[in-house]
Amino acid sequence: MTSYHGGAFFDAIGNEFDSLDQIDEVISADVLDAWFPPSPQVSRILGQLLDWAMRTSPPTGSEGLTNRIAETRGVGKRSVLPGAGSSNLIFQAFREWLSAESRILLLEPTYGEYAHVAENVVGCRVDRLTLSPDDGFRVDTARLLEPLSRGYDLAAIVNPNNPTGRHIPRRDLIDVLSRVSPRTLVWIDETYVDYVDAGESLEQFAATSENVIVSKSMSKVYALSGLRVGYLCGPPGLIDPLRRLTPPWAVSLPGQIAAVTALQDAEYYRRRYDETHCLREQLRESLLALADFRIVPGVANYLLCQLPADGPTARTFISCCRSEKLFLRDASATASSLDNRWFRIAVKDGDTNRRMVDIISHYTRKPY
């Protein structure tokens, strides 16, 4: 059993990549890869060095990448642990910290990997704090603090949350975390936080804490999904034991080169995040003009939407869109708290967003 992560568009391209000529026709809006390319500096250096980088072993412990992350984020090197993407780090850390006797707290809905690893890999007990669509799945910090005081072994908070796109402001979350027992590990997944503001990250807070670990993916905000680079940031007392469990060459040489280079081009990415906000708003307005969608006011590169009550189920709707090579995510399949009309759509460039809206219009104006 595994956690489903989308990627159904590979049904059209082929898992053995035998139909790569289809990539410009397929719209992969069921995963949340960046709509924009990596920094031109990244593309340039990889273009120049790719042959060498593919045949050369990388630095064993990603030492240069660790140094660059620590310098960029303003934390000590011992607080940083790179890995082959955030999912790799989730598996690594949770299996070290948790056992079948452990109890953990998750938001509902949230990123499915956490429940999968906790329940199906480790086999521990999972409790859920259910968020309500009635207030747009907002996380009330006072309501969050109450279960956190019950002595869980670990709590995982995705911020901004996926699939809702809702964000807890840094100052509010720090206020909560400062009241949590140091015996409870708190994992903050900041995969999408740069879309809000890099200053909203809790990395510096985590590095000086006893029990807070920040998980950062470089996939979605740096357009490096295919290279699999992520890292943890937290107190050395938690990071050092995980470092000893990390195999050599955990991050590929192309991945290390790309990540180090991307971290040096903050201005390029800041402009792309600003564009993303405009594109998301344009997509939201276009969808609302089509039908009586309920759309959650997210802050990242995706929208969580509920189809009209008199419309199709998400499963039927997504199947119809897929017939026109538009792949969307059935959010109702990711959480029991979401009914069968919820779907998630990734924000794309302007032309692709218009293509998506055109396809969706065919299935929101016709009877089923």
Domain limits, the chain: 10-31+267-363, 56-264
pLDDT at 368: 44
Q: Any alpha helices (H) in 311-349, and if so which ranges?
A: 314-322
* Cα-based distances in Å from 212 to 103, 166, 309: 17, 20, 41
Structural contact between residues 160 and 202, judged by C-beta atoms closer than 8 angstroms: no
Which position has the token pair 């939201």?
284
pLDDT at 23: 74
pLDDT at 366: 44
pLDDT at 280: 98
CATH 3.90.1150.10 fits 10-31+267-363, yes or no: yes
3-state secondary structure of 154: strand
pLDDT at 365: 61
pLDDT at 333: 79
What is the distance between the alpha carbons of residues 25 and 161, in angstroms, rounded to a whole number? 30
Structural contact between residues 247 and 241, judged by C-beta atoms closer than 8 angstroms: no
State pLDDT tens for residues 194-249. 999 999 999 999 999 999 999 999 999 999 999 999 999 999 999 999 999 999 99
pLDDT at 20: 72
3-state secondary structure of 355: helix
The distance of Cα 105 from the centroid of its chain, to the nearest Å, equals 18
What is the distance between the alpha carbons of residues 254 and 84, in angstroms, rounded to a whole number? 12
DSSP run (H or E) holding 130: strand 125-130
If we measure between CA atoms, which residue out of 111, 130, 157 comes closest to residue 338? Answer: 130
What is the distance between the alpha carbons of residues 322 and 365, in angstroms, rounded to a whole number? 17
What is the distance between the alpha carbons of residues 16 and 19, in angstroms, rounded to a whole number? 8
Residues 6+ apart with CB under 8 A from 98: 104, 118, 122, 124, 153, 154
pLDDT at 94: 97
Q: Which token pair is 89?
A: 């780090």
What is the distance between the alpha carbons of residues 189 and 232, in angstroms, rounded to a whole number? 9
3-state secondary structure of 182: coil
SS3 content of the chain, % helix, strand, coil (to 5): 45, 15, 40
HSE toward the beta carbon, residue 186, CA cutoff 13 A? 30
What is the distance between the alpha carbons of residues 263 and 223, in angstroms, rounded to a whole number? 12
Burial of 237 (0-12, 13-18, 19+ CB in 10 A): exposed
Structural contact between residues 363 and 320, judged by C-beta atoms closer than 8 angstroms: yes
DSSP run (H or E) holding 273: helix 266-290
Structural contact between residues 344 and 328, judged by C-beta atoms closer than 8 angstroms: yes
Helices and strands (DSSP H and E) totals, the chain: 13, 13
φ/ψ of residue 143, rounded to 5 = -70, -30
What is the distance between the alpha carbons of residues 84 and 256, in angstroms, rounded to a whole number? 10
Which position has the token pair 């603090």?
145
What is the distance between the alpha carbons of residues 84 and 175, in angstroms, rounded to a whole number? 31
Structural contact between residues 335 and 17, judged by C-beta atoms closer than 8 angstroms: no
Per-residue pLDDT of the chain (368 residues; tens, 9 = 90+): 555 555 576 777 667 777 777 778 899 999 999 999 999 999 999 999 999 999 999 999 999 999 999 999 999 999 999 999 999 999 999 999 999 999 999 999 999 999 999 999 999 999 999 999 999 999 999 999 999 999 999 999 999 999 999 999 999 999 999 999 999 999 999 999 999 999 999 999 999 999 999 999 999 999 999 999 999 999 999 999 999 999 999 999 999 999 999 999 999 999 999 999 999 999 999 999 999 999 999 999 999 999 999 889 999 999 999 999 999 999 987 788 899 999 999 999 999 999 999 999 988 864 44
Which position has the token pair 């939407």?
305
Reading phi first (left if > 0) and then psi (alpha if -120 to 50, else beta), residue 165 is in left
CATH number for the domain whose boundaries are 56-264? 3.40.640.10
